[in-house]
């Protein structure tokens, strides 16, 4: 299926509830309204999300008509294939997911393992969607060879086909006719961004892309991210970056230097689910970075995001 094309179809701009067909731990689904508060009262030519994942920001932004067009990118081809299918053939994707999901009857764990093995061999997008929906805590894990190796969640069977169909068709209706899908490196995805656009970056945090706890298909070296940010600042392209954070006394990554021409804001993401499961009450604080000039150009400041 080709990429970098705007698909037309049964588009509906009146979608009232933001659909989320791709379940992803760490998705910005709940935080999207507050993140987009940074760009309130602004309209853009395009919104780029080069680390698309579940595309939570793009879906929320499309619901609010933040931009005329949207650009989704990722380096994981089966994930890009999922988004292409959502836009171009949503009924087929929903049918394929339902067939895979229904195969769980009688041998749930064995079925999951067989689907995982087949996905690692073929890269089938519908099978990736099933694995994301059924794996432990919707938290994908990849081994050093890039193979999906997360275990199934034994407490549930993943999103039911009826709900998945609703979300797939809803996302397709919301995005079709105004969305570009690009497979490749994040710098390539946003290479044509201009000052009339907005880029939302949600790369892997430092410390979760190597070793036994590898959560992402590919990591991102800090120096490459810094170089990309310098390019955006130099070109005058507005952006919002989610990169590091902290929970309780534990920090996830080191803050980026303000010498890059960026300001760091802190967003309270609420109580940590993992800490709660471990009997602790801890708040998760996520860092957002924006160009300093972009903050100065805003008429208002949201009270839900505070300067660090």
* Tens of pLDDT, residues 156-176: 999 999 999 999 999 999 999
pLDDT at 273: 52
Distance between CA atoms of residues 199 and 176, nearest Å? 19
Instruction: Judge whether residue 72 has pLDDT over 80.
Output: yes
Residues present in the chain in total = 308
Instruction: Judge whether residue 204 has pLDDT over 60.
Output: yes
Q: How far apart are the first and last CA of the chain?
A: 44
In a domain, 3, yes or no: no
pLDDT at 2: 43
In a domain, 14, yes or no: no
pLDDT at 5: 56
In a domain, 11, yes or no: no
Token pair listed for 169: 């068709």
DSSP 260: G
The whole domain housing 82 covers 32-307
In a domain, 89, yes or no: yes
Q: Phi/psi of residue 121, each to 5°?
A: -85, -30
- Top pLDDT among 1 and 294 is at 294
- Top pLDDT among 85 and 6 is at 85
Instruction: Judge whether residue 296 has pLDDT over 80.
Output: no
In a domain, 13, yes or no: no
Q: How confident is the model at residue 7 (pLDDT cuts 50, 70, 90)?
A: low
In a domain, 27, yes or no: no
Distance between CA atoms of residues 52 and 28, nearest Å? 11
227: CATH: 3.40.50.150
- Top pLDDT among 163 and 287 is at 163
In a domain, 278, yes or no: yes
Positions of E strands within 228-282: 239-247, 250-252, 262-271
Query: Into how many domains does the chain fold?
Result: 1
Asked if 245 contacts 286 with a C-beta cutoff of 8 angstroms, the reply is: yes
Contacts of 137 (CB under 8 A, 6+ apart): 25, 153
**Angle, to 10 degrees, between the axis of helix 125-134 and the axis of helix 90-102?**
60
In a domain, 289, yes or no: yes
């Amino acid at each position: 299926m080709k990429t970098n094309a705007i698909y037309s179809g049964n588009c509906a701009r009146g979608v009232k509830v933001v659909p989320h067909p791709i379940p992803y731990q760490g998705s910005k689904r709940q935080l999207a309204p507050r993140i987009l508060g940074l760009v309130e009262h602004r309209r853009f030519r395009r919104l780029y999300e080069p680390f698309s994942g579940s595309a939570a920001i793009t879906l929320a932004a499309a619901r609010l008509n933040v931009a005329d067009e949207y650009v989704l990118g990722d380096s994981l081809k089966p994930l890009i294939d999922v988004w292409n299918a959502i836009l171009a053939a949503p009924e087929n994707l929903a049918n394929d997911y339902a067939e895979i999901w229904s195969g769980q009857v009688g041998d749930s764990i064995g079925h999951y393992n067989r689907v995982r093995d087949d996905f690692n061999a073929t890269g089938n997008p519908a099978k990736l969607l099933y694995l994301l929906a059924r794996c432990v805590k919707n938290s994908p894990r990849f081994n050093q060879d890039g193979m999906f190796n997360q275990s199934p969640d034994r407490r549930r069977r993943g999103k039911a086909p009826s709900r998945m169909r609703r979300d797939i068709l809803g996302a397709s209706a919301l995005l079709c006719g105004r969305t570009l899908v690009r497979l490749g490196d994040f710098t390539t995805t946003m290479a044509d961004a201009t000052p009339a656009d907005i880029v939302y970056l949600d790369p892997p945090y430092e410390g979760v892309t190597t070793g036994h706890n590898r959560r992402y298909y590919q990591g991102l070296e800090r120096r490459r991210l810094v170089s990309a940010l310098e390019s955006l600042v130099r070109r005058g392209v507005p952006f919002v970056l989610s990169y590091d954070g902290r929970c309780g006394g534990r920090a996830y990554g080191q803050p980026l230097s303000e010498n890059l021409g960026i300001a760091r804001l802190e967003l309270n993401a609420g109580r940590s689910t993992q800490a709660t499961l471990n009997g602790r009450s801890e708040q998760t604080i996520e860092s957002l970075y924006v160009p300093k000039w972009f903050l100065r150009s805003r008429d208002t400041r949201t009270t839900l995001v505070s300067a660090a």
